[in-house]
Each structure stands twice: as structure tokens, then as C-alpha cells.
């Protein structure tokens, strides 16, 4: 085995890590804020559970739909660019080879070496070479709408399940402090784990996500309390 095969690169994790962390973070913040706001209106625990289940399902489906539409648009753009590049290669391959060589010259190769590299890569797979080096596409980062939708929905549901479990196991009179406290703990742990997986400082990431989560819950608690006074 070579040394290169043992190297770890955090950049390879960015795609799935971003989707998983954002989904779980949204699930915790969204549902805990919703539940804190509802609890501030002095509803019963069973009513809070119903709201929580509805919020979990609705939020997961919303995440899936939004991610699918967004990534589908990206996939459509990628296909359009690849089709245009394919036509250009068929109609004027020498010009496309010169364009590719020019990209390599800009990256620091000599014109002669850049031309040799362009020829070799285009002989191997011309479209892949242009997709990677001209359009910035790679197999690792290609848009996959269904995969993105399922990942977002499942990560949101996993995050949202945590505050919902707290509601199911807590007395009604202590819902607000228990939901808020446990959710902030979950957010801090999630931020720290995500930072560790991505090679970033754990403390700053945990603090950042905790502060924003606390702000979201505080605002919804105030709104719930205000509306609860009119009920």
C-alpha cells in the first residue's frame, strides 16, 4: 500500500457531512422551538406530542421536497452543460483540446506539457476531462436528487426525534426547561461531532450552533407565551 492510500482528506466528507449535519440541526432546532412555543401556551403533554409528531413528519417531508427540487435543478444544469460540451467536442475537437490545454497552462504547466496532458486525457475520456477541468464537475460531487432528498428527510427526522422523545418522557409542568436544556445539549454535541469529523475546531462549532438554537427557542417561547395569554 502506498502512502497516498492512507491519507485522509476532510474535503471528501463535505458533501454528506453538510447534508447530515444541516438536516439533524434543523430537526432539533425546528421541533424543539415548536415544542417550546407550544408548551408556553400551557397545552397538555398529549397535545404537545401530537404537535411534535406533525412537526416531525411535516418537516421531514418539507426537507425532502426542497432538497429534491433544488438538487434536481442542479442536475438539470449539469446535464445541459455536459450535452453542450459533447456537441462542441463532436463539432470542433481541436478547439476543445486547445481550450483544455489553456486551462492547464493557467494552472502552471508549460504550453508543451499542457498540450501533451490535454491530448492524453482526451484520448482516455474527452468528455470527462472537460467536465472535470473546464466545468468543475466530478463523480464525487455530481447531483443526486433522490439520494439528497432521502438523506435530508432522514437526518431531519433523526434530529427532530430527540426533543420529541423528551416530551414523551417528561412531566407537563417541566416541558419547557427539559426541552430547551436537552435540545441545547444535543445541538452542542452535534456541532462538536460535526467539527471533529470535518477537522474544524470543536468548541467554536458547538458554541455557534448552541447560541442560534437558544435564540430560536427563546423567540418561539415568547411568541407562544404571547398567544397563549389570549387563549
- Residue 191's nearest CA partner among 170, 214, 174 is 214
pLDDT string in tens for the chain (231-residue length): 444 444 554 444 445 556 667 788 889 988 988 888 888 888 888 888 999 999 999 999 998 898 888 888 878 887 887 888 788 888 888 888 888 888 888 888 888 888 888 888 888 888 888 777 777 776 555 667 888 888 889 989 999 999 999 888 888 788 888 888 888 898 888 888 777 766 778 888 788 888 888 888 888 878 877 776 555
- Residue 130 domain-assigned (yes or no): yes
Q: Which long-range contacts (CB under 8 A, 24 or more apart) does 14-22 make?
A: 14/198, 15/140, 15/141, 16/151, 17/194, 17/197, 17/198, 19/67, 19/148, 19/151, 19/152, 19/155, 20/151, 20/155, 21/155, 21/190, 21/194, 22/152, 22/155
Provide DSSP, 139-166: STT---HHHHHHHHHHHHHHHHHHHHHH
Identify the helix (H) or strand (E) that includes residue 134. none
For residue 194, the tally of other CB atoms under 10 A from its CB is 22
Assigned domain for 3 exists = no
What's the pLDDT at 3? 46
* Secondary structure tally for the chain: helices H, strands E: 7, 0
pLDDT at position 198 is 66
Assigned domain for 6 exists: no
What count of other Cβ atoms lies within 10 Å of the Cβ of residue 42? 15
Do 140 and 13 meet the contact criterion of CB atoms below 8 Å apart?
no
Please give the pLDDT value at position 54: 93
Q: 1 lies in a domain?
A: no
Asked whether residue 114 is domain-assigned, the answer is: yes
Query: Does some domain include residue 39?
Result: yes
- What does the pLDDT read at residue 189? 86
Residue 84 lies in a domain: yes
Number of structural domains in the chain: 1
Within a domain: 7: no
CB contact at 8 A, 186 and 53: no
Domain with 102, as residue range(s), is: 14-228
Amino acid at each position: 500500500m502506498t502512502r497516498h492510500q492512507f491519507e485522509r482528506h476532510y474535503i471528501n466528507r463535505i458533501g454528506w457531512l453538510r447534508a447530515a449535519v444541516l438536516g439533524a440541526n434543523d430537526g432539533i432546532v425546528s421541533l424543539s422551538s415548536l415544542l417550546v412555543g407550544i408548551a408556553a401556551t400551557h397545552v397538555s403533554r398529549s397535545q404537545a406530542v401530537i404537535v411534535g409528531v406533525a412537526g416531525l413528519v411535516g418537516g421531514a417531508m418539507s426537507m425532502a421536497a426542497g432538497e429534491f427540487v433544488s438538487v434536481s435543478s442542479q442536475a438539470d444544469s449539469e446535464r445541459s452543460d455536459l450535452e453542450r460540451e459533447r456537441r462542441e467536442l463532436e463539432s470542433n475537437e481541436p478547439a476543445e483540446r486547445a481550450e483544455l490545454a489553456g486551462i492547464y497552462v493557467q494552472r502552471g504547466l508549460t504550453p508543451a506539457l499542457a498540450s501533451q496532458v490535454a491530448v492524453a486525457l482526451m484520448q482516455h475520456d474527452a468528455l470527462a476531462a472537460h467536465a472535470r477541468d473546464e466545468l468543475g464537475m466530478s463523480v464525487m460531487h455530481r447531483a443526486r436528487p433522490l439520494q439528497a432528498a432521502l438523506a435530508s428527510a432522514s437526518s431531519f427526522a433523526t434530529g427532530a426525534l430527540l426533543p420529541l422523545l423528551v416530551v414523551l418522557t417528561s412531566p407537563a409542568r417541566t416541558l419547557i426547561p427539559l426541552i430547551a436544556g436537552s435540545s441545547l445539549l444535543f445541538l452542542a454535541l452535534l456541532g462538536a461531532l460535526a467539527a471533529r469529523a470535518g477537522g474544524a475546531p470543536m468548541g467554536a462549532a458547538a458554541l455557534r450552533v448552541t447560541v442560534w438554537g437558544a435564540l430560536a427557542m427563546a423567540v418561539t417561547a415568547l411568541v407562544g407565551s404571547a398567544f397563549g395569554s389570549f387563549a
